[in-house]
A and B are shown apart, each in its own frame.
Chain A
């Protein structure tokens, strides 16, 4: 009779569950979620004679460019933080994580300001529908990311994050980079790839 004698709890630790893999799958689903909106965007854009429509005009790019800089920087900072914690420099990680969160909050504040400057409302037709819903959903994801990073921050402060145990940081970083990439997509289709 062949059976490995294993204590119950030993088996439990031998294969720890994997937040990282779970997050990769979750982000893959999120990508499909946004892809549906991008597909809608391209469909309507390809059918339109003038895009963006005359009622909207060419969008102002300066604030969105700053927004892009903020998010990209935040991703780099978080990646440096991840590297720090993986090498055991938890204090450095804490500071970089805080910086990431602050950059996220700056993004949200600046985007709210940008919304307030717009001359068209959500009810103005298909372009405004796409614009507000897509950027709004992205903004909600930034909020989600800030919350997630704050939870990781709380875990760090209570000593649950260490060189050996830093998968939550890795998982949160994957999410944050994803949110960043979605923004790059939005920035491209709404501000860069438009006739100027």
Chain B
């Protein structure tokens, strides 16, 4: 299926010219790669912060970080992980894959795409530069609750500015994705023949376009309170800190779905390939995405149960309702695996790990959504366990699955299977060692966001265990980077359809694809055009249904 012709290898250009061409590129694939590199860089930084925290918490007493430093470190850890690793990493997949999967030449607005990317390192470094100013970096957590965030020095201003910049980047990116998906699909690719990954990106982008501006509004009020003398969040002068919480979480809850939807979509793309079956209930998955996106705007106050100022039954009910479409997703994933010819390649391992760990995180959430439970769990380590089961066990495992899956498409080379499987198991064990005990600590009352704890509370053993786990996770990430490094030195060997059983259009072009993606565009007659091509090549044309 030579959708792309072989072409002679060009002589490598001089380094300076090549660098310039990367810095000024508007090619969605190169921008996607830049997104990946940038996100992984921030992942490493934020990961080092995590190790610093875990090291401090291994034993009672102050060893490494003063309480002030600890506050800055956990704030920057959460901020960078959420806004500069997970979100842009998912956007990286979107950038690289959406035009390929829908058979387009590029994104709808290539130059705006480049702008979206370059705003990211600028915003991220702005947030980080807080460490250099007097008083240190922002230290009010990734949620920056007022009135704490109204205090604080210049580091807090840099934090606000950085978040606004990243917000603009994500809004522009989201608009770009939506227009690209709605207007640039190849002939024959109806909305319901679109790969599920694109549906994930589309739904995420709708959430970003509508929710991120609300975060910007919160940041504007915060900035005004800090510098213009307004009193939005000052209860003593007629304002209300609850206004901050309501505004932030109106963005914040859709945000958590922004951080997971694309990962769901990645997993939904991978499971069929390694089960040799179509995705079970494709339309059901699409519907679940859309329902969850809609519901996610109605649940924000479940983060505010303990304020005593929200309608508990209403927000509890809407929150529990989200478990229904989420359950549909689980059902469809399992049904996809059911009686499939499973192949345990690294992408599949991470996808399976994702299902198991995300399940735990989801169940945690269901408990927190009951106000009676949440009064006990709120602001304890339980919530930290929940966050990490959904965001690390969920999204990061999904991201890993995606990286292993599309690496051959992006680079023409496979990541080592052996190292990949090792990484999976080390990461899986390290992850559970680190985060499972947090449930127990939370139930025993250990508060989150503290730099120290008393030796006589009985929390020491589990904390030490968690720190060991954190270092095991770090080892697994070293394995990953070694794998990337080693694999990039190997010759290009990946064929167009690198896994032999793929479905979507990116696998119809060469690995890596040419700058213009396709020489000839395949006509799309079904949800799985590459499978159609494969069967046609085997002389089985016509026997295939169109699912």
Within 8 A of B (CB), among A12-40: 12, 15, 17-18, 21-22, 25-26, 28-30, 32-37, 39-40
A22 — which chain B residues lie within 8 A by C-beta?
A: 108-109, 175-176, 179
Complex interface: stretch among A91-99, A106-114, A121-129: A121-129
Beta-carbon contact of B175 and A33 below 8 Å: no
Which A55-79 residues have a C-beta within 8 angstroms of B? none
Chain B residue nearest to A12 (CB atoms) is B105
Identify the interface centre among B184, B238, B247: most chain A CB within 10 Å of its CB. B238
Q: Give the complex CA separation of A43 and B243 in angstroms.
A: 9
Indicate with 1 or 0, residue by residue over B153-196, a CB within 8 angstroms of chain A CB atoms.
00000000000000000010011101100111001000000000
Let me know if B230 is at the binding interface, CB within 8 A. yes
Say yes or no: A21 contacts B179, CB within 8 Å: yes
B497-547 interface (Cβ within 8 A of A): 516, 519-523, 525, 533, 536-537
Complex: how many Å from CA A6 to CA B103?
12
Is B470 interfacial (CB-CB < 8 Å)?
no
Residues of chain A within 8 A (CB-CB) of B238 are 44, 125-127
- DSSP majority for the A interface? helix
Knowing A8-B516, A36-B218, A125-B237 are in contact, say whether A21-B183 is a contact too (CB < 8 A): yes
Q: Does B33 contact A (CB under 8 A)?
A: no
Task: Determine if B211 and A6 form an interchain contact, defined as CB atoms under 8 angstroms apart.
Answer: no
Chain A contacts for B1, CB-based, 8 A: 1
CB <8 Å contact, A25 and B231: no
- Interface: B239 (CB within 8 A): yes
Q: Chain A contacts of B237 at CB under 8 A?
A: 125-126
CB interface residues, B 384-440, toward A, < 8 Å: none
Q: How large is the interface on A (under 10, 10 to 19, 20 to 34, 35 or more residues)?
A: 35 or more
**Option from A15, A17, A30, A126 in Cβ contact (under 8 Å) with B213:** A30
| A118 interface residue (CB < 8 Å to B) | no
CB neighbours (8 Å) of B525 from chain A are: 2
- Asked if B295 is an interface residue, CB under 8 A from chain A, the answer is no
Decide if B9 is an interface residue (CB 8 Å cutoff). Answer: no
| B179 close to A17 (CB less than 8 A) | yes
CB of B250 within 8 A of CB of A36, answer yes
Q: Does B224 reach chain A (CB closer than 8 Å)?
A: yes
B220 contacts A8, C-beta separation under 8 Å = no
User: Known: A2-B536, A36-B217, A36-B247. Is A29-B521 also a contact (CB below 8 A)?
Assistant: no
B491 interfacial by beta-carbon distance below 8 Å: no
* Contact present for B179 and A122 (CB under 8 Å): no
A123 to chain B, nearest CB (A): 4
Asked if B212 is at the interface of the complex by the 8 Å CB criterion, the answer is yes
Please give me the residue from chain B that is nearest to A30 by CB atom: B213
Q: Which residues of B contact A40 (CB under 8 A)?
A: 221, 232, 243, 247
Residues of chain A within 8 A (CB-CB) of B232 are 40, 126, 129-130, 133
**Closest chain B CB from A191 CB (angstroms):** 21
Q: Residue on B with the closest CB to A40?
A: B243
Note all chain B residues with C-beta closer than 8 A to A15.
104, 183-184
17 more CB-based (< 8 A) A-B contacts, given A5-B520, A129-B230:
A1-B533, A2-B533, A3-B521, A4-B523, A11-B521, A12-B105, A18-B108, A18-B179, A21-B178, A21-B179, A22-B109, A29-B213, A36-B214, A126-B239, A128-B230, A132-B230, A133-B230
Q: Can you pick out 9 interface pairs between chain A and chain B where the beta carbons lie within 8 Å of each other?
A: A1-B536, A11-B521, A18-B108, A22-B108, A26-B171, A32-B210, A36-B250, A126-B231, A137-B220
Closest 3 CB pairs of A and B: A129-B230, A36-B217, A123-B229
